């Protein structure tokens, strides 16, 4: 090793000299003398990179610059310099190794069972040093906050920084400023003992967490509660985020979490009354008796509340959560985004999301990756989410070795460059420190950050599970392991911060409070339903009437909106095809007829925006439209500058956000659903590329959209646009799986429509936001029909006094009602095939009736139509196979309608494709045959 008479030659100036020589060499190898040239050329990549770093990190002291020409430098012995440089380079490599991999030897597992390492990369001996080098000073140019240090000191600093109870992963981050910020936080920190009051506060928080679970265990032994035990440090982490966040300007947190520790977070963090939780344990309802809904188990419930922190009020809202792990993630993100919009928080510093995760779920569920991918996108970013993985090193009965291929559960977050802070949950002060740093990072860089809280699960998966069946050794260790509170209390007693008596008194006080609440729970009755407050104030439970809403718009206003749609700024170079399309639209608007599907949609949105309603629409390629029908965003053909005509309809209008989403369904639908939960005054639309792809969002549809109101009293007005229709495009581009949505329909939970007229589409969209309640709306939308003349409407069909039609009765002149031999009922595109085929036969004794809204099923309106045709038989015609489409849903309902009428028909008959495993054929000719056949069958005499 470079050790010349035990003297260190590489002083700061000399290092600067070498760095400068190296810089010159990089510019021009011939600018340095031959021996230096050889030396620099032989440096490996790492060493070269290391030397480059001598120029100084961005946050460090600037490297003392020494001009190579300086007489002092010229006199330095070149060999000595080279040896000293090698020392520094090796030290620097060691430092870099710790920055990258120090976490691998960090003391993270409270149980000490996670045996890892040793890792040769973290051993100074791997860098050519020996024990005899330990006390030699090496120039390290302020890298660890020191200009030079002995190897022994360097190793000590590195181990304290990177291998203590905190392990930091950040070298994957590509933005130097972010890396440097983290490096500075950790490498330059001295960890003075926390002030006594804060330490007592941490102990209080741990005491509250532990005591609450013990109390529940004692009072409700064996009842599932998915206790926090083993992960009590989560609570001081949350407190630290709350306090630091508040200092840094956050006034609202939206929180998502799974079952584990949820009751503790509900009560001890968000402030749900203990009495309410005890009452739920006693089997009582969460909501007042008169409120509808199915309710949910107590460890799924959400709540919200205000906390006073340092004289400021911070609003906390914990989202309700289904069992499906991680499904709540995008929902929380959407809520955050909506709340930022409502507050005008353009910087995204006032509202932040906190997501907690289990280790197995975070590694296993694709929704985690989908949600992370949203984090830095213009249309979805929320200024960074603080993630906490409650890493209890087990998932139900599955050990990490079977739960993931990645070393840590957190690795998926590296994909979005999130820093990852691993921390030992049995060191609550380290946990608090990390929570504060994570919050600061989020506020500083507006990016996601992950805390990987290493802990354990004291009991089985739930309290009545026996964990020793599958992890006997781990659970033997856990049985012997004192609680985090006990360990921390021991530290504080040893440090003289508290004495044993105070520790005991803390617990006793808390239990006394719980006892009082337990007594209060006996008479506890929720006095008001937890909904329709805040942003929802003024909205009501849906009424039982026809709910038309005020959807018609004065024709003048429609024309004003229309002008906005077809006008672009002076000098904007339109694509010639788009220019022609805009001209055609202008002509239709002027004529007041021939308004196609996309124009009706644009008019609905534009009029809402003009009236002050914010509209948000996302989906894959939604700006243009999958079928090139929408062109809501226009692009200058020379500059690619974007222009969104709907945003230029009227001065002072509300904005229209139109967003091309990532190629995700569950993540994006979850996000938009979340948005709709937080902001009922925004019309939120999501569009599937083709309807069947929405099945990737099935969990969000099942667990939130269709059941959220029943389970949690949470309304949503989200619109899902699902392109649907049998056009010979094969199994995956035909069916939006109408049957799936209809199967979910009950208790007035959603609305399902399959529309055939542009005007009806216009009204359906406006109706969504012009009524005093919110319901999710699923619309099966056309594809080839988008430009078809048949679906176009007149402007006056959208005018004042017009409204949505749930059923469209026969609109052609046919035989008198009593001579009609058959009524063919249908929904959606097949109607037009039927019209054409009927015209071809010239049969005037068949009436065609369109059911535009399948749910809520229009019993009365349909009854009024069918009553007219006393002698007709009833056929339900659909394109979908018999086991799919609306048939199984409408069959009995039509029967019910008929039963109440004075008509001959008693039941509908089916005309459509035969039962099938795959929704549609991939062979075009077969498609045509099938389609012709089913239409003929529907009309046949
Ligand atoms: C999507 C989904 N699959 C399976 C389950 C069943 N389940 C409930 S908890 C659990 C284990 C979760 O492990 P982890 O994420 O580590 O959290 P922990 O329970 O250990 O806190 C499983 C598999 C579920 N709730 N959700």
Taking residue 578's Cβ as centre, other Cβ atoms within 10 Å add up to 16
Alpha carbons 604 and 606: distance in angstroms, whole number? 6
Residue 909 alpha carbon to ligand 1 centre in Å: 46
Is the shortest distance between the CB of 323 and ligand 1 below 6 Å? yes
Burial of 145 (0-12, 13-18, 19+ CB in 10 A): middle
Is the shortest distance between the CB of 410 and ligand 1 below 6 Å? no
Taking residue 287's Cβ as centre, other Cβ atoms within 10 Å add up to 16
In whole angstroms, how large is the CA radius of gyration of the chain?
34
Is the shortest distance between the CB of 388 and ligand 1 below 6 Å? no
Closest ligand 1 atom to residue 261 Cα is 21
pLDDT at 491: 98
Alpha carbons 790 and 796: distance in angstroms, whole number? 16
| Cβ atoms of 585 and 565 closer than 8 Å | yes
Alpha carbons 751 and 906: distance in angstroms, whole number? 27
Give the closest residue (by CA) to ligand 1 atom 14.
Answer: 358
Is the shortest distance between the CB of 329 and ligand 1 below 6 Å? no
Is the shortest distance between the CB of 359 and ligand 1 below 6 Å? yes
Alpha carbons 31 and 28: distance in angstroms, whole number? 6
Closest ligand 1 atom to residue 361 Cα is 15
Residue 721 CA: distances (Å) to CA of 166, 664, 726, 745, 835: 47, 15, 16, 17, 25
Closest ligand 1 atom to residue 391 Cα is 16
| Cβ atoms of 618 and 529 closer than 8 Å | no
pLDDT at 77: 59
Give the closest residue (by CA) to ligand 1 atom 13.
Answer: 395
Helix (H), strand (E) at residue 599: helix 597-610
Residue 358 alpha carbon to ligand 1 centre in Å: 7
User: What's the pTM value of the predicted model, to 2 decimals?
Assistant: 0.93
Phi and psi at residue 911, to the nearest 5°: -135, 115
Residue 229 alpha carbon to ligand 1 centre in Å: 16
pLDDT at 114: 80
**Token pair 């200058």: residue:** 636
Closest ligand 1 atom to residue 409 Cα is 16
| Cβ atoms of 713 and 529 closer than 8 Å | yes
By C-alpha distance, which of 681, 800, 665, 639 is closest to 722?
665
Give the closest residue (by CA) to ligand 1 atom 20.
Answer: 395
Is the shortest distance between the CB of 531 and ligand 1 below 6 Å? no
Residue 258 alpha carbon to ligand 1 centre in Å: 8
Using alpha carbons only, what angle is made at residue 879 by residues 757 and 778, rounded to the nearest 5 degrees? 50
Residue 325 alpha carbon to ligand 1 centre in Å: 6
Burial of 228 (0-12, 13-18, 19+ CB in 10 A): buried
Cβ-Cβ contacts under 8 Å for 737 (sequence gap 6 or more): 691, 692, 694, 695, 884, 919
Closest ligand 1 atom to residue 357 Cα is 15
**Token pair 């996302």: residue:** 618
Phi and psi at residue 851, to the nearest 5°: -95, 105
Is the shortest distance between the CB of 325 and ligand 1 below 6 Å? yes
Determine the residue of 229, 256, 358, 465 to mutate for testing ligand 1's pocket, defined as the one with the most ligand atoms within 8 A of the Cβ atom: 358
pLDDT at 54: 53
Is the shortest distance between the CB of 393 and ligand 1 below 6 Å? no
| Cβ atoms of 715 and 773 closer than 8 Å | yes
| Cβ atoms of 166 and 106 closer than 8 Å | yes
Give the closest residue (by CA) to ligand 1 atom 1.
Answer: 324
| Backbone region of residue 875 per phi and psi (left: phi > 0; alpha: psi in -120 to 50; beta: other values) | beta
Is the shortest distance between the CB of 455 and ligand 1 below 6 Å? no
For residue 146, give both structure tokens: 């020191």
Sign of torsion over alpha carbons 269, 274, 278, 283: negative
Is the shortest distance between the CB of 361 and ligand 1 below 6 Å? yes
Give the closest residue (by CA) to ligand 1 atom 17.
Answer: 358
DSSP-derived letter for residue 540 is: -
Give the closest residue (by CA) to ligand 1 atom 26.
Answer: 324
Cβ-Cβ contacts under 8 Å for 9 (sequence gap 6 or more): 76, 77, 80, 81, 83, 84
| DSSP characters over 803-843 | ---SEE---S--S-GGG--EEEEE-STHHHHHHHHHHHHT-
Cβ-Cβ contacts under 8 Å for 394 (sequence gap 6 or more): 359, 360, 400, 456, 457, 467, 471, 474
Closest ligand 1 atom to residue 403 Cα is 16
Cβ-Cβ contacts under 8 Å for 833 (sequence gap 6 or more): 931, 935
Sign of torsion over alpha carbons 700, 701, 705, 706: negative
Residue 800 alpha carbon to ligand 1 centre in Å: 53
Residue 590 alpha carbon to ligand 1 centre in Å: 59
| Cβ atoms of 200 and 497 closer than 8 Å | yes
Give the closest residue (by CA) to ligand 1 atom 7.
Answer: 396
Q: At what angle do helices 45-53 and 12-27 cross, to 10 degrees?
A: 120
pLDDT at 297: 87
Strand, coil or helix: 484: helix
Residue 409 alpha carbon to ligand 1 centre in Å: 13
Is the shortest distance between the CB of 260 and ligand 1 below 6 Å? yes
- Where helices occur in 630-782 by DSSP H, the ranges are 666-678, 698-700, 708-712, 738-743, 758-767
Taking residue 652's Cβ as centre, other Cβ atoms within 10 Å add up to 6
Closest ligand 1 atom to residue 260 Cα is 21
| Cβ atoms of 449 and 417 closer than 8 Å | no
Alpha carbons 306 and 874: distance in angstroms, whole number? 58
Is the shortest distance between the CB of 59 and ligand 1 below 6 Å? no
Is the shortest distance between the CB of 360 and ligand 1 below 6 Å? yes
Give the closest residue (by CA) to ligand 1 atom 10.
Answer: 396
pLDDT at 851: 98
Alpha carbons 387 and 409: distance in angstroms, whole number? 12
Phi and psi at residue 716, to the nearest 5°: -145, 140
Taking residue 860's Cβ as centre, other Cβ atoms within 10 Å add up to 13
For residue 123, give both structure tokens: 């051993």
Strand, coil or helix: 461: coil
Q: At what angle do helices 428-445 and 234-247 cross, to 10 degrees?
A: 40
Alpha carbons 90 and 306: distance in angstroms, whole number? 53
Determine the residue of 228, 234, 396 to mutate for testing ligand 1's pocket, defined as the one with the most ligand atoms within 8 A of the Cβ atom: 396
Is the shortest distance between the CB of 281 and ligand 1 below 6 Å? no
Strands 148-150 and 137-139: antiparallel
Is the shortest distance between the CB of 392 and ligand 1 below 6 Å? yes
Q: What is the mean pLDDT of each run of 10 residues along the chain (941 residues)?
A: 34 57 79 76 63 49 40 53 79 94 97 89 94 92 84 96 97 97 88 92 98 96 94 98 98 97 97 94 81 82 93 96 97 98 98 98 98 98 98 97 96 98 98 98 98 97 94 97 98 98 98 96 82 88 84 96 97 97 96 97 98 98 97 98 98 98 98 98 98 97 96 95 97 97 97 98 97 97 94 98 97 96 98 97 97 98 98 98 98 98 97 98 96 97 85
Specify the long-range contacts of residues 649-654, CB closer than 8 Å, at least 24 apart: 649/560, 649/561, 649/564, 649/565, 649/606, 649/609, 649/610, 650/560, 650/561, 650/564, 650/609, 650/610, 653/609, 653/610, 653/612, 654/608, 654/609, 654/611, 654/612, 654/613, 654/614, 654/615
pLDDT at 61: 41
For residue 690, give both structure tokens: 């083709």
pLDDT at 65: 39
């Amino acid at each position: 090793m470079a050790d010349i008479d035990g003297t260190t030659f590489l002083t700061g100036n000399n290092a600067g000299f070498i760095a400068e020589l190296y810089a010159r060499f990089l510019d021009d190898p011939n600018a340095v003398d031959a021996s230096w040239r050889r030396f620099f050329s032989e440096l490996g990549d790492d060493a070269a990179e290391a030397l480059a770093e001598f120029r100084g990190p961005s946050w460090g002291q600037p490297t003392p610059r020494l001009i190579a020409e300086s007489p002092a430098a010229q006199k330095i012995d070149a060999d000595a310099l080279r040896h000293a440089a090698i020392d520094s380079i090796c030290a620097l490599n060691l430092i870099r190794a710790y920055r990258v991999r120090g976490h691998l030897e960090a003391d993270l597992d409270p149980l000490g069972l996670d045996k890892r390492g040793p890792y040769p990369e973290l051993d100074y001996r791997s860098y050519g040093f020996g024990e005899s080098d330990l006390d030699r000073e090496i120039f390290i140019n302020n890298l660890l906050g020191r200009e030079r240090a002995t190897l022994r000191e360097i190793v000590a600093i590195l181990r304290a920084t990177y291998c203590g109870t905190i392990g930091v992963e950040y070298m994957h981050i590509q933005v130097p400023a972010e890396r440097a910020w983290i490096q500075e936080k950790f490498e330059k920190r001295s960890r003075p003992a926390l002030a006594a009051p804060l330490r007592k506060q941490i102990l209080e928080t741990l005491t509250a967490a532990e005591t609450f679970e013990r109390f529940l265990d004692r009072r409700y032994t064996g009842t599932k509660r998915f206790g926090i035990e083993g992960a009590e440090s989560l609570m001081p982490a949350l407190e630290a985020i709350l306090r630091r966040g508040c200092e840094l300007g956050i006034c609202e947190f939206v929180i998502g979490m799974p079952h584990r520790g949820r009751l503790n977070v509900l009560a001890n963090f968000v402030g749900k009354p203990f009495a309410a939780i005890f009452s739920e344990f006693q089997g009582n309802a969460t909501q007042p008796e008169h409120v509808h809904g199915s309710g949910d188990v107590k460890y799924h419930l959400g709540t919200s509340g205000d906390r006073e922190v340092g004289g400021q009020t911070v609003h906390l809202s914990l989202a309700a959560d289904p069992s499906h792990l991680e499904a709540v993630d995008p929902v929380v993100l959407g809520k955050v985004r909506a709340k930022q919009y409502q507050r005008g928080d353009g910087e995204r510093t006032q509202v932040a999301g906190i997501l907690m995760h289990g280790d197995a779920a975070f590694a296993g569920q694709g929704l985690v990756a989908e949600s992370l991918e949203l984090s830095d996108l213009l249309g979805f970013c929320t200024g960074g989410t603080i993630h906490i993985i409650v890493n209890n090193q087990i998932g139900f009965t599955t050990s990490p070795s079977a739960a993931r291929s990645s070393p840590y559960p957190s690795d998926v977050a590296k994909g979005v460059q999130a820093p990852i802070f691993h921390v030992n949950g049995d060191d609550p002060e380290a946990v608090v420190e990390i929570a504060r740093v994570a919050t600061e990072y989020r506020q500083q860089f507006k990016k996601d950050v992950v805390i990987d809280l290493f802990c354990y699960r004291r009991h089985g998966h739930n309290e009545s599970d026996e964990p020793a069946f599958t992890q006997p050794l781990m659970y033997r260790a856990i049985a012997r392991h004192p609680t985090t509170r006990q360990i921390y209390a021991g530290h504080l007693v040893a440090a003289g911060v508290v004495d044993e008596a105070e520790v005991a008194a803390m617990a006793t006080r808390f239990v006394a409070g719980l006892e009082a609440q337990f007594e209060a729970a006996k008479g506890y009755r929720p006095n008001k339903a937890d909904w329709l407050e805040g942003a929802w104030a003024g909205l009501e439970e849906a009424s039982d009437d026809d709910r038309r809403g005020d959807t018609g718009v004065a024709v003048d206003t429609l024309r004003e909106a229309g002008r906005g749609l077809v006008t672009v700024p002076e000098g904007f170079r339109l694509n010639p095809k788009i220019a022609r399309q805009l001209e055609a639209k202008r002509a239709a608007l002027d004529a007041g007829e021939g308004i196609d599907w996309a124009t009706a949609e644009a008019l609905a949105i534009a009029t809402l925006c003009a009236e002050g309603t914010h509209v948000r629409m996302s989906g894959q390629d939604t700006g243009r439209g999958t079928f090139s029908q929408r062109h809501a965003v226009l692009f200058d053909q020379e500059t690619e500058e974007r222009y969104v005509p709907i945003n230029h309809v009227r001065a002072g209008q509300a904005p229209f956000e139109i967003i091309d989403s990532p190629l995700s369904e569950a993540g994006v639908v979850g996000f938009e659903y979340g948005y709709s939960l937080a902001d009922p005054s925004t019309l939120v639309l999501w569009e599937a590329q083709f309807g069947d792809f929405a099945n990737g969002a099935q969990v969000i549809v099942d667990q939130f959209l269709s059941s959220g109101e029943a389970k949690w009293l949470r309304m949503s007005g989200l619109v899902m646009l699902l392109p649907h229709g049998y056009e010979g495009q094969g199994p995956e581009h035909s069916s939006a799986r109408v049957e799936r949505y209809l199967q979910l329909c009950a208790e007035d939970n959603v609305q399902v429509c399959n529309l055939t007229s542009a005007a009806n589409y216009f009204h359906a969209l406006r109706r969504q936001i012009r009524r005093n309640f919110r319901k999710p709306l699923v619309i099966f939308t056309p594809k080839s029909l988008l430009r078809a003349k048949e679906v176009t409407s007149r402007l006056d069909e959208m005018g004042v006094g017009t409204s949505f039609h749930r059923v469209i009765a026969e609109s052609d002149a046919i035989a008198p009602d009593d001579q009609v031999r058959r009524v063919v009922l249908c929904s959606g595109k097949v109607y037009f095939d039927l019209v054409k085929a009927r015209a071809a036969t010239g049969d005037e004794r068949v009436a065609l009736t369109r059911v535009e809204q399948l749910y809520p099923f229009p019993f009365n309106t349909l009854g009024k139509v069918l009553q007219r045709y006393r002698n007709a038989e009833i056929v339900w015609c659909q394109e979908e196979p018999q086991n799919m489409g609306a048939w199984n849903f409408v069959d009995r309902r039509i029967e019910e309608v008929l039963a109440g009428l004075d008509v001959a028909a008693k039941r509908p008959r089916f005309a459509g494709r035969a039962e099938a495993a795959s929704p549609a054929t991939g062979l075009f000719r077969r498609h045509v045959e099938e389609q012709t056949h089913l239409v003929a069958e529907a009309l046949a005499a």
